[in-house]
Structure 1
Amino acid sequence: MIGRFRRGFVAVDASLDVFRARPRLAILPLLSLAVVGSAYGAIAVAMLHYGLVTAVFTNNFVKYGAMFAAIAVASGIGVFFNAAVVHCAARHFAGEEPTARDGLAAAWDARGRIAKWSLLSATIGTALYIAEDNVPGVGTLTRSILDLSWGLLTFFVVPVIVTDRTDALRSDLRKSGGAFSRTWGESISATVGIGLVLLPVSVFGLVLLGVAFVSTPNIGAYVVGIAGGALLVATIVVAQVLGMIVRTALYRYAATGERVGPLEDLDPNGVFPED
């Protein structure tokens, strides 16, 4: 078991090398943040225009409808741009020279499957919130556990969408869940490892934002605040790219036995043994 977690951390270190070789991949999660922000802004403007802000707090139909829309937008856009990163990572592993445009084209080709997943995610997410609010015995803890279970089950959904190109959600779920069950230690430790690698930068960014918030408003405070925000955005961007690189490599091995990218230099007898 310890070996599984150690290999996950090694994979994170190797994924940094891939990112350094393809730094332009950072544009994809940046676009994702910009599009999600714009979409949420459009939703907010529409709600203000039609006077629905108060109804969100007083009418369950409007409340859950807004929640469904928010989850669907975040999920759909997030999966779209993550799919672009996965495509570029897979092409890099194949020795090709992918561009962000290539990734976006591949994600666009998969737009139908991505839309299905965003709607499914929104349905399940909204259903869990409805259950928490209305079903006796279902509280925040239960919803959090179910959210975590869903997250683990769909851990490899983006690589499945990009590489397998099936139209059956059930088949995609089965493939994603099967890949996670075979690589659970590496998957968890890689995710934790990415967080630990970027934690100091995130903390420093938060400190800068805190300093700017308590400082007297002036040019210096604005500069410090902008720097802190930029660092936080940078950690989100890098975390997304590294996470998709690692998932692409782990899914490839789990599905085909081929060691690529972050797994390439690992001992072939030490990758995913039954320990």
Structure 2
Amino acid sequence: MTSKYRRGFDITRDSLRVFTQEPSLVILPVLSLLAVGSAFAVLAAIALQQGLVASLVTNDLYQYGAMFCAIAISSSVATFFNAAVVHCAAQLFDGNPTSVRDGLAAAWRARRQIAVWAVVAATLGTVLYILDEKFGVVGSLTRAVFNLAWALLTFFIVPVIVLDQRRSLRRQLRRSGSLFRETWGESVSATLGVSFTFLIVALPGVVLAALGYFSLDGVLATGALVGGGGIVVAAIVGSQTASAIVRTALYRYATTGEQVGPFEEREPDALW
């Protein structure tokens, strides 16, 4: 078991090392977090200004609309910036120069596919939320099972959108699902390794923020909350970046058999 955790740490380290060739690319996931936060802040301000807060709590139609908007915004923004990271990682794997501007330009070229993807994700997410709310245990079980299946089916959706020539969402989903079936062991192991690594990184931040909120007062409480929040945000940024690089490397391995990035000196199929 220890060796599995060790491999997870090694993969995460080697993934982040890819961006040491162009450190400015770390700005991309930071921009993603800022963009999502800004969008939600604007929506919250509109809701407060228009007096919609009470309706969001009591009116199902408003509630479901807000849910759809929240998922659509978070999904579209996160996918856009992850697409930029994927493009830049692919360029670095090929030994080509790249930049933040280059990654954003590649994501912008795929904006229509990203928008369609976000709408589909928001629609399914809202429908599953309604099922969970209206049908009790059966709805919750359905939502859990479908969420898992959807996560596996769309594991490679961002690399497919950016690096593949398929424009139809149906073909993109079939391609993503096919690639995952070919590399499911490697994909699950590598992803769990990255997630576990950044969970360990985030835990001190969670503890520090909890201390600031429940136990400390004044300046110490503020400092603990800010410091803890900063650690958690840094862990989220690092996790997004490493996960995008790992999926790009696995996409290359699944499509060409080439071992690049975190798998350059190790066999991906040996991870499972």
TM-score by length of 2: 0.91
Give CA deviations for 1:163-196 in whole Å, capped at 9, x if unaligned. Answer: 0142200100011001111111111111111122
Q: In structure 1, what is the equivalent of residue 231 of structure 2?
A: 231
Q: Contact (CA 8 Å) 2:128, 2:143: kept in 1 or not?
A: yes
CA distance in 1, matches of 2:208, 2:21: 30
Count of residue correspondences: 269
Residues 1:25 and 1:82: Cα distance change in structure 2 (over 3 Å)? same
Give CA deviations for 1:181-229 in whole Å, capped at 9, x if unaligned. Answer: 1111111111111122223321111121122223443333322322111
CA distance in 2, matches of 1:250, 1:42: 37
Shift of 1:137: 6.0
Stretches of structure 2 lacking an aligned partner (at least 5 in a row)? none
Shift of 1:238: 0.4
**Residue type matched to 2:110 in 1?**
A
- Kindly report which structure 2 residues correspond to 1:27-176, keeping only aligned pairs within 5 A, or say none: 27-135=27-135, 138-176=138-176
Give CA deviations for 1:86-129 in whole Å, capped at 9, x if unaligned. Answer: 01100000102211111111111111110000001001111111
Q: Contact (CA 8 Å) 1:85, 1:103: kept in 2 or not?
A: yes
**Residue type matched to 2:99 in 1?**
T
Structure 1 stretch 98-107 or stretch 114-123: which is displaced more?
98-107
CA distance in 1, matches of 2:6, 2:165: 32
Stretches of structure 1 lacking an aligned partner (at least 5 in a row)? none
Q: Contact (CA 8 Å) 1:8, 1:187: kept in 2 or not?
A: no
Q: Contact (CA 8 Å) 1:11, 1:190: kept in 2 or not?
A: yes
Residues 1:8 and 1:215: Cα distance change in structure 2 (over 3 Å)? closer
Q: Contact (CA 8 Å) 2:9, 2:197: kept in 1 or not?
A: no
Q: In structure 2, what is the equivalent of residue 193 of structure 1?
A: 193
**Residue type matched to 1:59 in 2?**
N
Give CA deviations for 1:24-79 in whole Å, capped at 9, x if unaligned. Answer: 22211111111111111111122222222212222221111111011000000000
Query: Which of 1 and 2 has higher RCO (CA within 8 Å, sep 6+)?
Result: 1
Residues 1:86 and 1:136: Cα distance change in structure 2 (over 3 Å)? same
TM-score by length of 1: 0.90
CA distance in 2, matches of 1:7, 1:200: 15
RMSD, matched Cα:
2.3
Q: Contact (CA 8 Å) 1:182, 1:272: kept in 2 or not?
A: no
Residues 1:9 and 1:204: Cα distance change in structure 2 (over 3 Å)? closer
